Amino acid sequence: MKNIFIGLLFAMLWASASVATKFGILSSPPLILGNLRFFIAGFVLLGFCYLISRDKQYRLPTYTEWRQLAIFGFLNTTVYLGLYVYAMKYTAAGIGSLSTSTNPLLIVLLSSWLMGRRPAKAEIISIIIGMLGIALATYPLLKNSNTTISGVAILMLSMVAVSFASVYYARIQWTLPNLLINGWQVTLGGLFLLPFTLAFSDFSALNFDHRFISSVLWLSLSVSVAGLICWFYLLKIDTVKASLWLFLCPLFGFFYAWWLLNEPITLYTVFGTCLVIVGLYIGQRKKLKA
């Protein structure tokens, strides 16, 4: 029951990121919202590791580990989340949540490419079905300006970036604790993003209202801290079973978008989400049987 509760909590928190971002960018330029989120999450995680816990395992990284953390943080936070936050300005929250579910499919494809092997037939089919599902769910939203083609393109580019980050993470023999890895990568990623935020953001459009503060705190504490703690716990128990909780993220994401943002749920939404879930299942079926 404990693992089920943590899995449900992860899916609920992870799926809420797109809706929280949509609220936040109503009061702030996207990159400012993202940078504050990253720095708060990094401060909390590193503060716990070094100031509160003081466990000996929470040490400073070595030179090699700094380089690895910098690469991971650049891909996973600067590029992925930077593009994701920016894309949400031009994309419906439900589509943002649905797109994150394609991450396991893209990881399979990128892993095959980087390892120099041909993707299996089932892997290619899973990618095609997943992308068709997103296209189907997106189609009606293009008519009412909730979503633009350029927004979806940026969103999918962010998914490619996080898939590269995941593959890179899996290829490193990490000796640092997960909390420390996440704390440093999100902090370094925020530092790498800062020059772009300063150069391209209109700070006069920033409004420190209740909506902005609530959004930043939710994204940094509930999603980046609590959500990732749940995710690392699930990965430690069983990597394959952990990925199954991603199946619920589109369902929670569209529910939040309908409930909080009045985004429509149509037959396109239902069938598109079903296609993404089927694609996820096909992509993970071999691992599940094993």
- What pLDDT, on the 0 to 100 scale, is given for residue 8? 92
Across the chain, mean pLDDT equals: 87
| Contact in structure between 94 and 257 (CB atoms under 8 Å) | yes
pTM of the model: 0.87
Q: Determine phi and psi for 110, rounding to 5 degrees.
A: -65, -35
pLDDT above 80 (res 288): no
Q: 189-216 burial string, b = 16+ CB within 10 Å, else e?
A: bbbbbeeebeeebeeeeeeeeeebeebb
Q: CA–CA separation, 288 vs 206, rounded Å?
A: 47
Token digits of residue 259: 């409930």
pLDDT above 90 (res 207): yes
Q: Which has more pLDDT, 12 or 279?
A: 12
- What pLDDT, on the 0 to 100 scale, is given for residue 245? 80
Low-confidence winner among 9-18, 70-79, 218-227, 229-238 (lowest mean pLDDT): 229-238
Q: CA–CA separation, 10 vs 249, rounded Å?
A: 9
- The residue-averaged pLDDT of 8-16 equals 93
| Residue range(s) defining the domain that contains residue 270 | 2-289
- What pLDDT, on the 0 to 100 scale, is given for residue 38? 96
Confidence of residue 239 (pLDDT cuts 50, 70, 90): low
- What pLDDT, on the 0 to 100 scale, is given for residue 277? 82
Low-confidence winner among 70-74, 105-109, 167-171, 278-282 (lowest mean pLDDT): 105-109
- What pLDDT, on the 0 to 100 scale, is given for residue 99? 84
Token digits of residue 225: 């801290």
- What pLDDT, on the 0 to 100 scale, is given for residue 141? 79
Q: Which has more pLDDT, 222 or 108?
A: 222
Percentage of residues of the chain with pLDDT beyond 70: 93
Q: In sequence order, which ranges of 115-219 are alpha helices (DSSP H)?
A: 121-138, 149-171, 178-200, 210-217
Q: 149-176 burial string, b = 16+ CB within 10 Å, else e?
A: eebbebbbebbbbbbbbbbbbeeeeeeb
Q: In the chain, how many domains are there? A: 1
